[in-house]
Amino acid sequence: MTAKIIDGVAVAKKIRDDCRGRVQRIVAQSGTRPGLAVIIVGSDPASQIYVRNKIRACANVGIESLRFDYPADVNQDAVIDRITRLNDDPAVHGILVQLPLPPSFDMARILHSISADKDVDGFHLYNVGGLVVGGTVFPPCTPYGVLKLLEHEHIALEGRNVVVVGASNIVGKPMALMLMQHEATVSICHAKTRDLAQFTILADILVVAAGYPNLIQPEMVRTGAVVIDVGINRLGDGRLVGDVNFDGVAAKASYITPVPGGVGPMTVSMLLVNTITSCERWQQQTFVPIFSKFPARVTK
């Protein structure tokens, strides 16, 4: 068996084409253009690349983007002050703080200071909690992109055994919750899981977001499984690889995503989708309940 390679670049292009049409309709109907504010703290090279890619993607579909750069030693209160002003800016429909933040920052405080109505990354407590009860406003972009890839390939989730390897707040946990909403039977594995292979071998669909290059080997994957590789790791020789041994696993799986060119392009595309959705919600005056707007707890 040779797996069908799921082309994330092609699927992302279709989504962005749709985004472009949605933006054109919004502008034609109201004169308003969706706006995304991106905040970056420090000079992490990977973060700089990610932010440039996001701003380029915004321009590609017609979203107005604003970029705010801060040095790594900035007082976090200055960043929160900027977020507060952006929360009140009617021209800004989405706010994104590029991660990681410097170690001195209280990441939870920063992320929770973003209004749930503009939290297009899906990290606000309201949106995270909404994943549990099925009422989130903005799904986290990477898990959202994974679901769109599965939907594009007409891969059914209902009743399927799905194993998620990796339990981060950004990918693993929300991914599991979103899969459960589609009535999949979900297991979550993480760094403390013993004998990982005994879980992965049972998966009809295996989603790997652990951050370890080539963690998943062919003998750990059931023949005919769908394998979604969220990991992206740079090796010493400069090559980018995922968390899955691509060549070996592709010989057993029915579908597999490549790295690069699989989940990565979808993450940025779903950020565009969330930003446009936010603009449409503001036009319709559809906001989250007032309790989600309480200011972030100030720590001494």
Which of 98, 119, 229, 252 does the annotation list as catalytic? 98
Percent helix, strand, coil in the chain, to 5, is 40, 15, 45
Which of 117, 119, 121, 204 does the annotation list as catalytic? 121
What's the chain's length in residues? 300
DSSP class of residue 244? Answer: B
Amino acid present at 247: D
Cis peptide before 295 (omega within 30 of 0): no
Question: Which two three-digit tokens encode residue 137?
Answer: 């406003």
User: Coil, strand or helix: which one is 163?
Assistant: strand
139 within 8 A of 270, measured Cβ to Cβ: yes
Residue found under tokens 């400069």: 238
Among 299, 251, 297, smallest CA distance to 113 is for 297
Which of 54, 118, 148, 252 does the annotation list as catalytic? 54
**Does the annotation count 204 as an active-site position?**
no
Q: DSSP for 55-95? A: HHHHHHHT-EEEEEEE-TTS-HHHHHHHHHHHHT-TT--EE
Residue found under tokens 């989130």: 136
Question: Which two three-digit tokens encode residue 218?
Answer: 């062919």
**Residue 66 forms beta bridges with which residues?**
37
Catalytic residues: 54, 98, 121
